[in-house]
Amino acid sequence: MTKNETENIKIVADVSDERTSPGELTVKIYSSTDKTFQAIKRLGFFWLIAVASVLIPVLHFVLVPLFLVLGVFFAVRTYRSEGAVLRGTTTCPHCKADITVQPGVLQWPLTEICQSCTRVVRMRKV
């Protein structure tokens, strides 16, 4: 798959019981090169914030190490992901409300919180 292609994936949503509902995600699948680039970009962003935190008196003792560690954490998380979720929709199996899946990292199972009944809705591939 090339860098700019997107793919629609059928999903099944559940709320930790037998009730399920169908949905669909639009995702961008990363190649190995793309994953490396995204991970380095995320690492650089957090390390840039760490360098800028040096200028904050007293708090820099906590902020610099925090952003250095967060950079490594999010870079590894990004590299391990399959790609990015661009958008998606499903319905809550509990209350039947529409759920819009927010853009983010593609790691299965995906979770969203239903805004109507506040249940955690888990989504997996069909």
Query: Does one domain contain both 3 and 36?
Result: no
Query: Does one domain contain both 66 and 40?
Result: yes
Query: Does one domain contain both 47 and 37?
Result: yes
Query: Does one domain contain both 50 and 73?
Result: yes
Quote the number of domains for the chain: 2
Sequential pLDDT tens for the chain (126 residues): 445 578 888 988 888 878 888 889 888 888 888 889 989 999 999 999 999 998 888 888 999 999 999 999 999 988 888 888 888 888 888 888 888 888 888 888 888 888 888 888 888 888
Query: Does one domain contain both 66 and 93?
Result: no
Strand, helix or coil at 57?
A: coil
Task: Look up the domain containing 109 and give its range.
Answer: 1-30+82-126
Beta strands in 1-126 (DSSP E): 7-14, 20-29, 83-91, 98-101, 104-106, 110-113, 120-125
pTM: 0.65
Query: Does one domain contain both 95 and 71?
Result: no
